[in-house]
């Protein structure tokens, strides 16, 4: 009898954990099912335990930091194993965030630009070493010699030689990127192309102009045709009008004397969509992670992803940003992505901030696991949510891998 009771308990505990990971909870604590993973994707009890622990951490910290809303998605290999909306789309209403609530993702947009460039290289429409002046003749640096040397790869890796955030203020003021490209000649250079990392928005966005020059299609059209549509990212877009016309969007929140207050979705950075103009939901970002982990070769080949994620330049000056990760990391930048390495790990990462939205994404290609978190405020949790996940994952990694090895 005791053996039978023990057997029943051993079956019941994983089932309860599975039920927990297949739900999301709104701000009023009403539990809903979502169109999430099948039970087979969560047979691994150690993976289920990781998800349950992180879910508790995130919900508790979200409340403690008074964050209005967020959404989380976690992918293991080719399967979305967890997605949940937390809190409210707007604190002035009672509408809860769900897996299809759309956020602005800020500089996570740069990762799309890197992969889309790779797809066009894969199709022989572009080449990494193409000179940008071929497509944007307005582009000019203070050195004519350097102007002629700047390649698409330099734009994507932030190694044009321009000073940090060159004319980002003009992007925010709504100027066209081709107009800005002609003004770079007024700025002193930090180095030769390919030699120095200095983060950009205006220069980075010129890669979209190159794409339009060779295809005749706008950057948002190409994203939809080459990535959003084939990947099944039904909520994603790269323009302001799409956000305005969507009934399920999160509003940004700003700090005022009255506390966090909903604000409007602005047009900023849609004029530089490759740098910061993508809109997406947690469901979209889950499908994007599946692509990035190499499970959608009909969208982009693994060989192309290898090129996109290859470290192009060290970013030693940014090491301070990764101290809270709890492990030594050598930071690099690839084609629109940060590449964080040590002896044991290579984590592909990016953070984003635009219009009082925050976003974070990170994944390990070797282990086949990734996470994305979207916020509708500049929450303090944004800086710790990814390190907290990776800390918990490292503690369970051997158990997760060992269980799959035994199961096979």
Residue-by-residue DSSP string for 338-354: EEEE-SS-EEEEEEEEE
Residues 200, 205, 206, 210: is their CA dihedral positive or negative?
positive
**Cα 195–chain centre separation:** 26
pLDDT tens digit sequence for 274-321:
999 999 999 999 999 999 999 999 999 999 999 999 999 999 888 777
Per-residue confidence band for 31, with pLDDT thresholds at 50, 70 and 90: very low
N- to C-terminal Cα separation, the chain: 31
93 contacts: CB under 8 Å, gap ≥ 6: none
pLDDT at 407 over 50: yes
Q: What is the pLDDT of residue 179?
A: 98
Over pLDDT 90: what percentage of the chain? 82
pLDDT tens digit sequence for 46-88:
999 999 999 999 999 999 999 999 999 999 999 999 999 999 9
pLDDT tens digit sequence for 163-189:
999 999 999 999 999 999 999 999 999
Mean pLDDT score, 253-265: 91
- Parallel/antiparallel/unpaired status of strands 69-76 and 369-375: antiparallel
Residues in the chain: 408
Structure tokens at 1: 């009898």
Query: Using CA atoms, how far apart are residues 317 and 322, in angstroms rounded to an integer?
Result: 11
CA count, 13 A, side-chain hemisphere, 28 = 8
Give all strands (DSSP E) within 31-189, no chain letters. Answer: 31-33, 69-76, 79-87, 102-104
Mean pLDDT score, 232-247: 97
pTM for the full predicted model: 0.91
pLDDT tens digit sequence for 107-149:
999 999 999 999 999 999 999 999 999 999 999 999 999 999 9
Q: What is the pLDDT of residue 41?
A: 58
**Domains assigned to the chain:** 37-107+237-407 (3.40.710.10), 117-215 (no CATH)
Q: What is the pLDDT of residue 319?
A: 74
Best CA proximity match to 274, nearest among 136, 95, 77 = 136
Average pLDDT, the chain: 90
Per-residue confidence band for 363, with pLDDT thresholds at 50, 70 and 90: very high
Per-residue confidence band for 255, with pLDDT thresholds at 50, 70 and 90: confident
Exposed (0-12), middle (13-18) or buried (19+): which is 144, by Cβ within 10 Å? exposed
């Amino acid at each position: 009898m005791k053996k039978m009771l023990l057997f029943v308990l051993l079956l019941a505990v994983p089932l309860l954990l599975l039920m927990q990971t297949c739900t999301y909870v709104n701000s009023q604590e009403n539990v809903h099912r979502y169109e999430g993973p099948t039970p087979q994707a969560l047979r691994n009890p150690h993976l289920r335990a990781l998800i349950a622990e992180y879910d508790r951490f995130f919900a508790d910290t979200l409340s403690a930091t008074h964050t209005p809303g967020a959404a989380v998605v976690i992918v293991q290999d080719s399967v979305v194993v967890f997605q949940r909306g937390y809190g409210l789309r707007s604190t002035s209403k009672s509408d809860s965030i769900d897996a299809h609530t759309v956020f602005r993702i800020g500089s996570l947009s740069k990762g799309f630009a890197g992969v889309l460039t790779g797809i066009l290289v894969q199709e022989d429409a572009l080449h990494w070493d193409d000179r940008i002046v071929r497509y944007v003749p307005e582009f000019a640096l203070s050195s004519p010699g350097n102007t002629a040397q700047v390649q698409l790869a330099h734009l994507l890796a932030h190694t044009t030689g321009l000073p940090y955030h060159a004319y980002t203020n003009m992007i925010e003021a709504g100027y066209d990127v081709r107009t800005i490209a002609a003004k770079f000649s007024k700025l002193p250079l930090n180095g030769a192309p390919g030699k120095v990392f200095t983060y950009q928005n205006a220069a980075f966005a010129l890669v979209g102009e190159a794409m339009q020059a060779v295809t005749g299609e706008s950057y948002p059209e190409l994203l939809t045709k080459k990535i959003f549509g084939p990947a099944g990212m039904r909520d994603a877009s790269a323009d302001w009008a799409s956000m305005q016309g969507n009934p399920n969007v999160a509003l940004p929140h700003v700090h005022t004397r009255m506390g966090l207050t909903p604000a409007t979705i602005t047009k900023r950075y849609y004029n530089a969509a490759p740098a910061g103009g993508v809109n997406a939901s947690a469901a979209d970002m889950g499908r994007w992670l599946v692509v990035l982990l190499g499970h959608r070769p009909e969208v982009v080949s693994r060989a192309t992803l290898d090129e996109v994620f290859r470290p192009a330049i060290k970013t030693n000056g940014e090491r301070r940003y990764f101290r809270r990760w709890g492990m030594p990391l050598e930071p690099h930048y690839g084609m629109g992505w940060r590449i964080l390495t040590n002896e044991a790990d290579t984590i592909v990462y990016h953070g984003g901030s635009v219009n009082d939205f925050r976003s974070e994404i990170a994944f390990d290609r070797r282990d086949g696991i990734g996470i994305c978190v979207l916020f509708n405020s500049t929450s303090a949790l944004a800086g710790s949510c990814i390190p907290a996940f990776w800390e918990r994952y490292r503690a369970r990694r051997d158990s997760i891998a060992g269980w799959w090895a035994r199961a096979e």
